[in-house]
Structure 1
Amino acid sequence: MEREHLLDYIRPRMPEKRYIHTLGVMETAIALANRYGEDVKKAEMAAILHDVAKFEDEEGMRDIVRHNGLDGHLIPWGAEILHGPIAAYRAEHELGIQDEDVLNAMRYHTTGRVNMSKLEQIIYIADMIEPNRKFNGVEALREVAKEDLTRAMRACIYHSVKFLVDTEQAIYPLSIECYNHYLGEEL
């Protein structure tokens, strides 16, 4: 699927600021894919589509989960967790994308999970370090991403979990499993 078609698909579904973020994720994902030998077109596609559902009505997202065989554990969570699986659902059912690696990269881009593929890691990391992100520690994450993908994933999931703990937010179980997995990785 061509870049322009995908960008036309997502643009009316998000505010301008999120669209600019998405372009940054796309550029970062392409750079990481080139650096780490991943399929650039798959990285581009997953990056463009990763936030397509971010601004959908939460109850509408829950209805999609309820009526389409998605993981029922998603139902009590808000848009921050729901939008990844719903983005994958939309990509598959509205755009005909069948590549499971691309769909999983969208599905798990906010939570992470154990045994992430290279593409999944690239989208997770690109979402966190794209050029428009401005938070303490982002430059260090960007530097690690230039050196080693696994170390970057470990640093990014650590940063994410720490942020959630520090702000007293609930942590999705897959994120805890992902954190534990990467904490135990031999680097």
Structure 2
Amino acid sequence: MKYSREQLITMISGQMPEKRWRHVEGVMTTSVSLAKRYGADPEKADLAALLHDLAKFWPMERQEAVMLEHGLQPELLQYDRQLLHAEIGAYVAEQEYGIQDEEVLNAVRYHTSGREQMTLLDKIVCLADYIELGRNFPGVDRIRELAEENLEKALICGFDSTISFLLQQGKIIFPLTVIARNSLIRELNE
């Protein structure tokens, strides 16, 4: 890692509005709490949470240019542009910030969509992004309750909420989110 945690905080917080930075802080706190509860590395959870939205407020033209220039999952461009920042964030974390831990990079990369056979860290950062205390949407309290009992059940509920919202809005659903949900259900049933 090229930079200290404090340097990363300064660089990342400077790229977003204060309200979004408060969200990132909430995801960091929640990720560390979940990591301790479920046996993951709290330092990795904190780092992945710190990095998870680093490209969120880049202009969309810049995000699209980075995606195309570096060949980063170009299929994402066919879906909601809100998905781009996760892939770009992982790329920037590695290329510009010197993060070499693949587990951390993947937790950043998949925090919006999930993926099949999510790692413990993937699950923690994705769920923390849903349930940090600044979040307020229908069903979030139920997801928080489930997070106290079972990580996978909480994530399934979160994915269900996202999929339901997208269906109600008539939006395209990124297939990886459905795959992630199904993978979690299979994991619970095994």
- TM (normalized to structure 2)? 0.93
Give the stretch that moved more between structures: 71-80 or 58-67.
71-80
Partner residue of 2:113 out of 105, 111, 120: 111
Give the stretch that moved more between structures: 20-29 or 162-171.
162-171
Aligned length: 187
Give the stretch that moved more between structures: 36-45 or 154-163.
154-163
2:40 corresponds to 1:38: yes
Tell me the alpha carbon deviations over residues 8-50 of structure 1, each in whole angstroms, 9 at most, x when there is no partner: 1111110111000000000000000010111111100110110
- Kindly indicate whether the alpha-carbon contact (under 8 Å) linking 1:129 and 1:142 is maintained by their aligned counterparts in 2: yes
Q: Give, in angstroms, the shift of residue 2 of structure 1.
A: 3.8
Partner residue of 2:79 out of 77, 80, 98: 77
CA distance in 2: counterparts of 1:177 and 1:24, whole angstroms: 27
2:20 corresponds to 1:51: no
Query: Which position in structure 2 is the counterpart of 1:163?
Result: 165
Alignment of 1:4-153 (within 5 A): 4-153=6-155
- Kindly indicate whether the alpha-carbon contact (under 8 Å) linking 1:58 and 1:78 is maintained by their aligned counterparts in 2: no
Percent sequence identity over aligned pairs: 43
Flag structure 2 segments of 5+ consecutive residues without an equivalent: none
**In 2 relative to 1, CA 77–178 (structure 1 residues): closer, same or farther, beyond 3 Å?**
same
CA distance in 2: counterparts of 1:126 and 1:21, whole angstroms: 10
Flag structure 1 segments of 5+ consecutive residues without an equivalent: none
- TM (normalized to structure 1)? 0.94
Give the stretch that moved more between structures: 53-62 or 99-108.
53-62
Tell me how large the CA RMSD over aligned residues is.
1.4
